[in-house]
Structure 1
Amino acid sequence: MIKKLALAILFSTSLSSAALSNDGVLDVAAPFEIKGADPSLSGNIFLKMDVAETLVNADTTGRLLPGLAESWSVSGDGLIWRFSLRQGVTFHDGAPFTAAAAAAALDIARAKKGLLSSAPIESIEPDGADLVISLTEPFGALPAFLAEYRSQILAPSAYGADGKATAVIATGPFKVTEMQAPMSLKTERNEAYWGEKPTIEKASYSAIGRAETRALMAESGDADFVFNLDPASVQRLSSADQVKVFSVAIPRTLMVKVNAADPHFDTVNERKALSLAIDRAGLASAVLRYPAAADQMFPPAMAQWHENDSSPLSFDPEAAKELLAKEGWTPGADGVLEKDGKRFEVELLTYPDRPELPLVAAVLEQMFADVGIKVIINSTNFSEIPAKHADGTLQLALFARNFGLVPDPIGTLLQDYAPGGDWGAMGWENAELTGLVGKLAGGTGTDADRARVSAILNDELPVIPIAWYQQTAAVSKTVSGAVIDPFERSFGLRGMTLAQ
């Protein structure tokens, strides 16, 4: 108890009381704040904590599986999808899960900005025990879209008159007993769950922004499952007696978003020069501490999209200087490039929620300086990236994009690059790519189309890939059955056992 009190006092500005372990409670610590009950705000946390569920599920390879829908089929013309829903399922408030309730939840979800709103849905209607979704055009990715966290199904009683969720009343194996946004969540086992009930009786979630604090919680025993560790903590905790460190490659890419309409980056040569200035292998080794240099956007684990025969992105600072000179940039008195009286000085936005990002930004600052580009780092709230995208003031942004939010990455591509989005292309559009992404989303695309999409992104660089990710977690040795889901849909609580 003394060590718990000491840790709580030491980190009182970032720890919530929910972070401290209690007998019989499995405590989870992760960096993601709880922004509210609505799935559009923090649905990823409710899905990860096995509180909420979606119609369609996915396994650790991204293969689609039945969720609240037992099966689904599509008409010959691709316009009518029929989902056969599970019977005998109840929400946490005891209300029955019905096709009408599912239709209402999905209609609310697609009325808000998000992935589902971009699908060509004409109507969502209950038909007895089935849910029927009518489309305006064929869209083969629909089941994958319904697996995304914002498509989770909440009870009718969860929503207010304005369509915003005011409580998390879902169907999962755990139900919420207390939520204190933005920091903590408490749950208990749902004894009326339709599927196999978890062994764990209670679980808590704490949003802990500082990676060092999360690592200390794992080390001290104040959290049983600590998600998303920084590289230094991984190294230290790997030799700790009281925890096991798990690591798995995930479909997430560290990248630099470029405003292709900005005069510093409005030519392919300028964007290629930026890419050539990056020593990906050195950066991955020094900062991330695992060999994950990205020579293209999609990692090898995404076999359908990764191109073994593509022209890989490489490191060549001298070639970068030549390309910049070709575009009229010449060194000024202090070595910073100039053109038409303007310095090559730009702002790079990033955020500390992922502890590696500020470190990577500092390394990139030096690498870009070596070719005459001066970078001003602004480590701020991650919401500044979409905000500055929207108002057109963003120049560069460093972030990690998860292509596993939807089991089929076509959903993310549709949102980010066809033609562009908050976390994708800015000031850049490619009609060929937009057409190919639409074809793939419609279910008629081929492997050759995927290869061409990858080639266009690598050739024109609306974003610049840097490294592929590994996800890590530190798990107490009192916990058995822990795994890391590469698609980050679940912490896997339902499969864990906590020793008493």
Structure 2
Amino acid sequence: MKPVWSLLLLLCLSACSPNQDPEVLTLGGPFEFTSQDPARDGFLYTRLQVAESLLEVDDGGRLLPGLAHDWEVSEDGLIWRFRLRENVRFHDGRPLDADAVVNALEMARRKPGVLRTAPIAEIRAEDPLAVAVRLARPYNPLGALLAHYSTVILSPASYRDDANVGWMHGTGPYRLEAFDPPHRIRVARFDDYWGMPALIPKAVYLTGHRAESRALQVMAGQTDIVYTLDPASLDLLRRQKDVRVHSERIPRTIQIKLNAGHPFLAERDARLAMSLALDRQGIASRIVRVPGAEANQLIPPALAGWHLEELPPIRRDLERARQLLAGLGWQPGPDGILQRAGRRFQLTLATYADRPELSVVATAFQAQLREIGIAVAVNIVNSSGIPATHHDGSLELALVARNYGNVADPLSLLFADYGDGGNGDWGAMGWRNDELPALLQRLESERDPARYRTHARRISHILAEELPVIPVLFYTQQTAVSTRVQGFGFDPYERNYRISQMSLAAP
């Protein structure tokens, strides 16, 4: 164990009192929260099972009944009808009905989120337990959007006059009990829940910025479950007799977003050279410690309809990378850094600390590009800094972890990233392709599964060939769980921590 780790562990063990309360589950994660509004921080409230949506998603990405026990789509694809469950109550005691659902969905449409771009003409109550959504044109992703955290159904009493959420009254097995932004939320079991009641009476979520601190807390018994661990913690945690480490592949990809409008990055061969310089196998096995995680395309294997199984791995090839750059007129300068027309091949790579492995991967990327004569400076920013610099045009490179399972079908997300001629906040920048947006548009109304898959695969091929974004690794979520937690489960779509299904062993 490194000396600094030894010191930190001793300090934590002496200062942290173990959490042995048999009625409280304590969870730790990296993400701060500032509100109870689903449009801003809804992901946390679905994970803590406070709020629920009309539809749910199974581990394979298929839509399941949620607050709607069934639904149907008209033959022309313009009307979606949802039948609501009976005997469901909000945490304020109000019964779930169609009017409450219409109100919640209209609130979601007014705010930034997935519903805002959907071609919805009208949302109406057809009877007390039936809701109809009328579309301006057929739109296949609607079901997936209605399983998204920003479209959860809250009691009308949750909203203030300005449409923001004052206090969240959801329908889940846990109700919000204490709200202390940006670091602490406490939830308590909701005894009138419509489904299986929660086994653990209370749960507390704590935000911890430093991954090593979260790891030390679970080792000291102060926290029961810690999500999003850094690679350096894994070996130490696996040696703890009272902690289990769970590694789960999720539909998220670590990738390099780049400004294809930049004069150094506009040529496809320059982007390909950068991709060939990456030692993905070394990064996967020695840095993030997940051998086999190297990515040869953007869409992860979990999204089978979009993933290209036949695509070969991307092998590191420094010689070819150098040849491609030389063909573009780049020649080594006195210090080994490439030059062209009097300009050095020097760029800045931004990344963020919310995902602890990103800064380590960024450093490896920096060293590997240096081997082909590209100088990269690494800048750690807040995650909000990535879209901000995209919009002001100053972004050059960014290392991000893109969640392609944000909704059950990635079509709407890909449309956001590449549909506007290929220029989205977290996708391409300064890159245009006429075929890809047209294919995305076609898929919005394509109801034949075979044709849908054909077009989806063509989109994946275009992204793999053109490299408007460079894939690096398929993401593996690392979670540390105390042995006192029984029945731990993980949702690969990160919608639900599934704490209602867990129990705590007696001290």
Q: TM-score range by the shorter chain?
A: over 0.9
Structure 2 counterparts to residues 88-487 of structure 1, below 5 A = 88-128=87-127, 129-291=129-291, 292-310=293-311, 312-419=313-420, 420-444=423-447, 445-487=451-493
Stretch deviating more after TM superposition (288-297 or 177-186): 288-297
Q: Which runs of 5 or more structure 2 residues have no equivalent in the other structure?
A: 1-7
Residues 22, 505 of structure 2: 8 Å contact kept: no
Which stretch shows the higher mean deviation, 454-463 or 93-102?
93-102
Distance change (3 Å), C-alpha of 1:367 and 1:307: same
Q: Which residue of 2 aligns with 1:14?
A: none
SS of the residue corresponding to residue 466 of structure 1 reads: strand
Moved more, 267-276 or 298-307: 298-307
User: Does the 8 Å CA contact 2:89/2:194 hold for their aligned counterparts?
Assistant: yes
> Cα deviations across residues 328-351 of structure 1 (Å, max 9, x unaligned)?
222222111122222111110001
The letter of the residue matching 2:115 is L
Over 3 Å counting, the alpha-carbon distance change for 1:321 and 1:69 in structure 2 is same
**Alignment partners' CA distance in 2, 1:258 and 1:25:** 44
Q: Secondary structure at the match of 2:209?
A: coil
TM-score (norm 1): 0.95
- Corresponding letter in the other structure for 1:7: C
Q: Distance in 2 between matches of 1:57 and 1:264?
A: 44
CA RMSD of aligned residues (A): 1.9
Note the C-alpha offset of 1:413: 0.9
How many aligned positions are there?
492
- Equivalent-residue separation in structure 2 for 1:5 and 1:255 (angstroms): 37
What displacement does 1:181 show? Answer: 0.6
Q: C-alpha offsets along residues 55-96 of structure 1, whole Å, 9 cap, x if unaligned?
A: 100111111110011111111110111011112211111122
Distance 1:4 1:376, change over 3 A: closer
434-443 or 65-74, larger mean C-alpha shift: 434-443
Q: Distance in 1 between matches of 2:107 and 2:313?
A: 42
Deviation of 1:245 after TM superposition, in Å, equals 1.4
Q: Which residue of 2 aligns with 1:51?
A: 50
Q: What residue in structure 1 maps to residue 81 of structure 2? A: 82
Paired with 1:338 and 1:7, the residues of 2 have a C-alpha distance of 50
The residue identity in structure 2 corresponding to 1:107 is: E
Deviation at 1:370, TM superposition (A): 0.8
Q: Residues 222 and 345 from structure 1, CA distance in 2 versus in 1: closer, same or farther, beyond 3 angstroms?
A: same
User: Could you tell me how far apart the structure 1 residues matched to 2:14 and 2:386 are?
Assistant: 33
- The answer to whether the Cα contact below 8 Å between 2:183 and 2:206 also exists between their aligned partners in 1 is yes
User: Where does structure 1 lack aligned partners over 5 or more consecutive residues?
Assistant: 12-16
1:31-42 to structure 2, matched below 5 A, reads 31-42=30-41
Post-superposition offset of 1:107: 1.4
Taking only the aligned residue pairs, the percentage that are identical comes to 44
Mapped partners of 2:446, 2:48: distance in 1: 32
C-alpha distance in structure 1 between counterparts of 2:112 and 2:15, whole Å = 40
Secondary structure in 2 matching 1:307: coil
Query: C-alpha distance in 2, partners of 1:4/1:465?
Result: 36
**TM-score, normalising length from structure 2?**
0.93
Contact 1:280 1:466 (8 Å CA) reproduced: yes
Q: CA deviation at 1:136?
A: 1.0
- Taking the aligned partners of 1:375 and 1:436, their CA distance within structure 2 comes to 35
Q: Report SS of the residue matched to 2:470.
A: strand
Residues 490 and 497 in structure 2, CA contact (< 8 A), matched pair in contact too? yes
In 2, distance between residues paired with 1:365 and 1:303? Answer: 32
After superposition, the C-alpha distances for 1:151-199 in whole angstroms (9 at most, x for unaligned) are: 1111111112221112221111000110111100001000111111011
Q: Structure 2 CA distance, aligned partners of 1:21 and 1:102? A: 40
Range moving further from structure 2, 282-291 or 442-451: 442-451
Assess if the C-alpha contact under 8 Å between 1:21 and 1:27 holds in 2. no
User: Residue 108 of structure 1 aligns to a residue in which SS?
Assistant: helix
Letter in 2 for 1:360: V
Map Cα deviations across residues 320-369 of structure 1 (whole Å, 9 max, x no partner).
Answer: 11111222222222111122222111110001111111100000001111
The answer for the alignment partner of 2:4 in structure 1 is: none
Give, in whole Å, the separation in 2 of the partners of 1:220 and 1:325: 54
Partner residue in 2 for 1:494: 500
Distance 2:124 2:171 in 1: 20
Amino acid corresponding to residue 255 of structure 2 in structure 1:
M
Distance 1:4 1:212, change over 3 A: closer
Cα distance in 1 for partners of 2:275, 2:9 equals: 46
Q: Which amino acid aligns with 2:81?
A: R
1:418-468 deviations in Å (ceiling 9; x for gaps): 123211111112221111122223233422212111110011111100001
